[in-house]
Each structure stands twice: as C-alpha cells, then as structure tokens.
C-alpha cells in the first residue's frame, strides 16, 4: 500500500467561476517539436501509484491501491488529494495547465457520483447531478456527462460558468475530449442502446464517426480535429470522415488509450488485459513495443501505457522486480 502523509482536508464548497469553466477559445494550435520527434529511447521513473493522466508540463495524477486520487510533481513528489464530504473513492480525470486536477468521486456504494476541481486549497464542485468528467480541452473546458432531471441516462455535457451545457443528443451519451477550437468528441447512444463515436462543433453540429455496422468509441482529439477511435479490437483515426486503421498488433487486441497533439498514440496490446504489453505508435515510427525502447536490464516489463503528453512523456503501469508499479517514460 502506498504510504503517504495524511492530506490536508479541503473545503467542499462551490467557489466563484474560474477561467477553466469558460467556453473554448478559437486558438491557433502550434505543434511542439519535442513531441513530434520519432523518439527511440526512454528513461524510466518509478511511480508508487497507478498513473492515468499527465499534463503538458509533466504533472502526473493517478490513484492509489485504495482508490484515492493523488498528484505527483517532480519537485514535491506525491500528494494525496482529500475526499469530498459524502464520497469515499476518487480518481483523476485530467490535469489543467495551471496544475489544478479534475477528479471524479464515488460514494462507498458506487451509487452517487460527483466531479470536482482541486484548485490550490479548495475544492470546486461541478454543477449537475451524477456528474462524471472525462477530460479538459487545452483552453480549460471540462467535458463529460451529467444526468438530466427525470431522465434515465446521462447526457453529453461541457461545463460553462459552472453549469452543465448539453449537446442535446437524442438518447444520452458523453463527451470524452475537446480541442482548442471547441470541437468535441465523444460517444452517443441511439434508440436501441447502441453507441457510436461522434464529433460536435458549434459551427457544424453533430457528425457520427466510425463504421456504421460496428460499435465505436472516441478516445482523443487533436488540434486539427483528427479523432482517435476504439473500434472493436482496433484503433482508428477519423480525419474529417475518412477512417484510417492504425497498423498495430495484427495478432492481439489493441487498446488505444491516449493521443497527443502530434498524433502519437499509446496503449496496450495482448490476448487480454491481464497480459497487455505497452505500445507507442506514430506515423513516422510506426507500431513499437515500449519494452524495446527502455534501457536493457532495467528490470521493467511495461504492461500498458495510459497517457501521453505533448512533450512525448508517457505514463502507465508495468511490473518491476516482480511487483506492479506505475511508470513515467521520459524521451531521451
């Protein structure tokens, strides 16, 4: 079990609206050159928790083995985030540029859900009922889902002025990610309960993605509007309606988990989730097993890559000296 000093309890009050609750701005997105290089080697840093998100500045967040959210910074190490009143479990959804952390919380019976932003020494509750945050745009817009009053299924929403704004899908859904231009990607349900990936923008409205005869789920979106999809056992890139299947493992299931602004994709592949191997894919480097890109004799077996930031840094879970451990890969 991860041993941490007791956290300072944060007040579970709703604060004044901050800039991260405003709509996405129309921002020109540059391409960070360090992330777009074809990285061939990484150094490995051990992390004593399960890392699931990493910010563009290298702030890592994840969960302990007792399902509590933590944040890690190179200068200060690991800090456990307090649990909002009335909840029991917490897990991070995103880290903002400011270093604030978006966290989802559950009660001890997993019936009540809520989303919060940990900002300095305060906890800001996102408005809505049964909220779940899934990500944040580069402009700071939090996206996810919320349960409308009197409805049986959550609706796809983004938060503006601390209130959930619905996309108005017919049958429920969720928003997974958004880019600088305000284009959002997520999953929408139809009247038969089937789900398919979608893209939405204020100017063009809703566009469904993925093969019409198969389930699909949005994973990430880049600055140009390309969307990473999970379709069955494969990963795809949707480029304005043109589907491109990523050339990943031909033999095993491919789980795509994250994509940065240079379309570097990471995830895990294997016969099942208990036997995944971490991978990285890029247009220039192709499909590569991450074990082949860390120093020989490191003792690591990298199991799954959960997230990649715009500097090409990767976090995930693996096995070190026979024990499960989190990792941070730093490009060399």
Question: pLDDT tens digit string along 139-153?
Answer: 999 999 999 998 889
Q: pTM for the full model?
A: 0.88
Q: What is the CB neighbour count within 10 angstroms for residue 160?
A: 16
- pLDDT tens figures, 276-297: 999 999 999 999 999 999 999 9
Question: Do the strands 234-239 and 242-245 form a parallel or antiparallel pair, or are they unpaired?
Answer: antiparallel
SS3 149: coil
pLDDT of residue 12: 31
pLDDT of residue 18: 32
Residue 6: inside a domain, yes or no? no
The DSSP letter of residue 244 is E
Q: Which residue, 120, 122, 119, 121, is CA-closest to 142?
A: 119
Domain housing 109: 19-25+34-331
pLDDT of residue 67: 97
Total domains in the chain come to 1
SS3 273: helix
Residue 163, domain CATH: 2.120.10.30
Q: Classify burial at 149, counting beta carbons within 10 Å of its beta carbon; exposed 0-12, middle 13-18, buried 19 or more.
A: exposed
Residue 2: inside a domain, yes or no? no
219, 209 in Cβ contact below 8 A? no
Q: Classify burial at 65, counting beta carbons within 10 Å of its beta carbon; exposed 0-12, middle 13-18, buried 19 or more.
A: exposed
Q: Which residues of the chain have pLDDT under 50?
A: 1-32
pLDDT of residue 161: 84
- pLDDT tens figures, 181-216: 999 999 999 888 889 999 999 999 999 999 988 999
């Amino acid at each position: 079990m991860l041993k941490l000093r007791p956290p300072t309890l944060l007040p579970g009050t709703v604060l004044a609206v901050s800039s991260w609750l405003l709509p996405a701005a129309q921002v020109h997105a540059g391409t960070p050159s360090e992330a777009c290089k074809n990285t061939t080697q990484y150094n490995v840093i051990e992390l004593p928790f399960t890392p699931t998100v990493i910010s563009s500045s290298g702030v890592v967040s994840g969960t302990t083995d007792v399902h509590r959210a933590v944040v890690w910074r190179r200068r200060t190490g690991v800090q456990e985030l307090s649990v909002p009143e009335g909840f029991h479990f917490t897990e991070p959804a995103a880290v903002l540029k400011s270093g604030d952390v978006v966290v989802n919380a559950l009660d001890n019976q997993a019936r009540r859900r809520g989303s919060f932003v940990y900002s300095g020494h305060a906890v800001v509750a996102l408005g809505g009922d049964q909220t779940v945050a899934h990500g944040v745009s580069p402009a700071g817009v939090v996206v996810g889902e919320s349960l409308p009053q009197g409805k049986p299924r959550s609706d796809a929403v983004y938060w503006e002025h601390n209130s959930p704004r619905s996309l108005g899908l017919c049958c429920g859904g969720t928003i997974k990610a958004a880019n600088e231009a305000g284009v959002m990607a997520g999953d929408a349900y139809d009247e038969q309960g089937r789900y398919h990936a979608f893209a939405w923008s204020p100017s063009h409205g809703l566009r469904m993605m993925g093969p019409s005869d198969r389930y699909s789920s949005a994973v990430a979106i880049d600055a140009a509007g390309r969307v990473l999809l999970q379709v069955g056992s494969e990963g795809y890139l949707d480029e304005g309606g043109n589907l491109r299947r990523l050339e990943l493992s031909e033999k095993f299931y491919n789980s795509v988990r994250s994509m940065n602004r240079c379309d570097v994709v990471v995830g895990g592949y294997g016969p099942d989730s208990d036997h995944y191997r971490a991978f990285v894919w890029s247009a220039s480097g192709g499909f590569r097993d991450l074990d082949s890109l860390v120093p020989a004799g490191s003792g690591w077996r990298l199991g799954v890559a959960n997230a990649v930031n715009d500097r090409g840094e990767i976090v995930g879970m693996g096995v070190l000296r026979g024990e499960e451990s989190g990792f941070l890969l730093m490009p060399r």
